[in-house]
């Protein structure tokens, strides 16, 4: 059974970006649209290969993983309002290490699936940690002038936290679920939950685009 619910919500987020483009234009939020165009393209190619050759295009997955890490780090750097100098160093160090690990695994370890999963777990937990820290800094801020639900940063951080923490758990259990052939509705359990988590991630991104207010610093 093929599940493609994730790409549907990616397209919903992309349509939301196109509708809200006027207010995101010339802000860092416009990169969400570029990222979504790329993600929908990669997912569409992946679906096509899945129905034809049955061979996953590893080079697409490689660029997908790299692009996602760079994109979310860039977004978090822009939505944070405190400690940006130190945050920049942390994010750049993380990206450099993850990039080296991904490329080393791809070119020197025959693109080991298990090692690839380990890298995804590490990057997923890091992004979850950054999302947690952002939410923490917002919750302890005594000078909030608007509800968190009216801030784009809140929705992006919530989506990233839910998706990457859940995804890391699913991938951690992958050797067990794969070996024992655990399925839900005839779908491998890791695929099923990744699709469901994607629904929340891209729904949060769509909401972030809707509530975005470029002219106020508190809208982050």
User: How far apart are alpha carbons 153 and 219 in whole angstroms?
Assistant: 8
Mean pLDDT score, 193-202? 92
For residue 187, give the H/E element and its range: strand 187-188
User: How far apart are alpha carbons 114 and 166 in whole angstroms?
Assistant: 18
> Average per-residue pLDDT in the chain?
83
Least-confidence region, from 55-69, 73-87, 92-106, 117-131? 55-69
pLDDT in tens, 26-54: 888 999 999 999 999 888 887 777 677 66
Domains in the chain with CATH codes? 5-219 (1.20.1070)
DSSP 198-215: HHHHHHHHHHHHHH--TT
Closest of 107, 118, 110, 28 to residue 74, by C-alpha: 28
Q: φ, ψ for residue 174 (rounded to 5)?
A: -55, -45
State the sign of the Cα–Cα–Cα–Cα dihedral 16, 22, 23, 27: positive
Tokens for 204, please give them.
């949060």
Tally Cβ neighbours within 10 Å of residue 125. 16
DSSP 101: H
pLDDT in tens, 120-163: 899 999 999 999 999 988 887 755 556 778 889 999 999 999 99
Tokens for 19, please give them.
């509708």
Tokens for 159, please give them.
């989506």
Q: Is 111 helix (H, G, I), strand (E, B) or coil?
A: coil
Say how far residue 72 (Cα) sits from the centre of its chain: 6
Q: Which residue has the tokens 């997923």?
A: 124
Contact assessment for residue 117 and residue 169, using Cβ atoms and an 8 Å cutoff = no
The count of C-alpha atoms lying within 13 angstroms of the C-alpha of 1, restricted to the half-sphere facing its C-beta, is 12
Degrees (nearest 5) of the Cα angle 49, 54, 58? 65
User: How far apart are alpha carbons 164 and 67 in whole angstroms?
Assistant: 15
């Amino acid at each position: 059974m093929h599940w493609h619910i994730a790409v549907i919500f990616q397209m919903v987020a992309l349509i939301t970006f196109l509708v809200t483009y006027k207010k995101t234009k010339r802000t860092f939020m416009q990169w969400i649209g570029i990222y979504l165009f790329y993600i929908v393209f990669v997912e569409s190619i992946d679906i096509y290969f899945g129905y034809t050759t049955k061979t996953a295009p590893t080079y697409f997955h490689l660029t997908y993983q790299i692009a996602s890490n760079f994109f979310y780090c860039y977004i978090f750097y822009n939505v944070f309002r405190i400690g940006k100098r130190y945050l920049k160093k942390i994010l750049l160090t993380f990206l450099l290490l993850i990039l080296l690990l991904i490329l080393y695994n791809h070119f020197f370890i025959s693109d080991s699936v298990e090692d690839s999963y380990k890298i995804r777990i590490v990057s997923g937990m890091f992004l979850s940690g950054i999302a947690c820290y952002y939410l923490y800094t917002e919750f302890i801020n005594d000078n909030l002038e608007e509800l968190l639900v009216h801030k784009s940063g809140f929705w992006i951080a919530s989506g990233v936290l839910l998706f990457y923490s859940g995804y890391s758990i699913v991938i951690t259990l992958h050797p067990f679920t794969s070996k024992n052939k655990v399925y839900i509705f005839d779908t491998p359990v890791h695929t099923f939950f990744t699709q469901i988590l994607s629904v929340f991630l891209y729904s949060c991104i769509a909401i972030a685009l809707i509530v975005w207010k470029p002219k106020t610093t508190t809208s982050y």
